[in-house]
Structure 1
């Protein structure tokens, strides 16, 4: 991905891999535990077998959206993929206990309980990182801009969100997320695997 003039390049795949050293073997172990071949798992995740193989060998670093996709594929959570398992589900999440992780340019911190269907993160989106990546997957997303400005594409419509603005949408809608300011954008991000009910559905008579 090219970077605007004067902007430093993002972290290399090797640098990002240093932040998530155990993801590759954990991806392979989870796939095998589910009894899936490389080809079957790749098809479910919408990836090529070669791409999934590179993720499992550490030759390619998964982005946060890709981690979400793989977590759904293996029936687990991003927290488990990252090895962040807690002995019990604490209701209180202390900020000082959640160190940052980085994936494909995005930096994020766990902001919700581990091992739950609703996953909450605090995310920093750098300028120029993943802005052209179109995401389509089951579930709902809610995000709230804390700092900077965010450019959110929903279908054919592009919205620019300021600090204090939020968005809540079904993530089967093709969407793109990018920072609109050179300083990047800081946001709260919540994802769930469930779709909202169809407002046009009618009960049977």
Structure 2
């Protein structure tokens, strides 16, 4: 029987990109943390139902988990074509093409959802508040953002996002998988 392509590194990368611990992702997928760990290290091959569950949790497709890349990427994302994805009180809608180093999303943050979840991962993030008020914790600083406010930061800085308004908050959210260049780096001669 043919083995699946090596999905282990993608599973770990997608879980980390979503800011999920091994335990949290395993719980959502109905797996034990040890089982998910074995999938991420390549010691076990996932079944199709496991791939479907993990793809749903990570906001992607089984095709992407398997490393399939579409032949041509569409530069246009039509608003009505992308259905929402929900996870822990956040509703995501693609606002840009999939499978790129920069991901653009329109996000609805429900009040009280994930406000204590601290995220740290490689890359950059930019967000723009469309409606509602948002609390953004960056390292030791806390900011309250209103419609029209934006933030742009290196996502290795520990960060937390929470809605402050009763109806939640909506924002445009862009993140990259690449780190910002260090402005203080000095090349060696």
1:53/1:131 CA distance change after superposition, 3 Å = closer
> What's 1:57 paired with?
30
State the Cα RMSD in Å: 3.2
> What's 2:54 paired with?
none
> What's 2:141 paired with?
157
Deviations 1:62-117 (CA, angstroms, capped at 9, x unpaired): xxxxxxxxxxxxxxx84335979866311111101111111111011000001111
1:92/1:57 CA distance change after superposition, 3 Å = same
Tell me the number of residue pairs that the alignment of Structure 1 and Structure 2 aligns: 154
Q: Determine the C-alpha separation between the residues in 1 that align with 2:62 and 2:75.
A: 21
> What's 1:79 paired with?
60
Q: Contact 2:59 / 2:85 at 8 angstroms: preserved in 1?
A: no
How is 1:126-145 mapped onto 2 (pairs within 5 angstroms)? 126-145=110-129
> What's 1:119 paired with?
103
Which runs of 5 or more residues in structure 1 are unaligned? 1-31, 60-76
Q: Determine the C-alpha separation between the residues in 1 that align with 2:174 and 2:78.
A: 17
Deviations 1:167-204 (CA, angstroms, capped at 9, x unpaired): 00011100000001111100000110111111111122
Deviations 1:107-152 (CA, angstroms, capped at 9, x unpaired): 1100000111111100000111101111111111110000011100
1:86/1:35 CA distance change after superposition, 3 Å = closer
Q: Secondary structure at the match of 1:54?
A: helix
Q: Determine the C-alpha separation between the residues in 2 that align with 1:151 and 1:95.
A: 27
Give the TM-score normalised by structure 1.
Answer: 0.65
1:174/1:146 CA distance change after superposition, 3 Å = same
Q: Contact 1:150 / 1:160 at 8 angstroms: preserved in 2?
A: yes
Deviations 1:16-37 (CA, angstroms, capped at 9, x unpaired): xxxxxxxxxxxxxxxx642649
Which runs of 5 or more residues in structure 2 are unaligned? 33-57
Q: Determine the C-alpha separation between the residues in 1 that align with 2:104 and 2:120.
A: 19
> What's 2:185 paired with?
201
> What's 1:27 paired with?
none
Q: Contact 1:145 / 1:164 at 8 angstroms: preserved in 2?
A: yes
> What's 1:96 paired with?
80
> What's 2:6 paired with?
34
1:166/1:51 CA distance change after superposition, 3 Å = closer
Give the TM-score normalised by structure 2.
Answer: 0.70
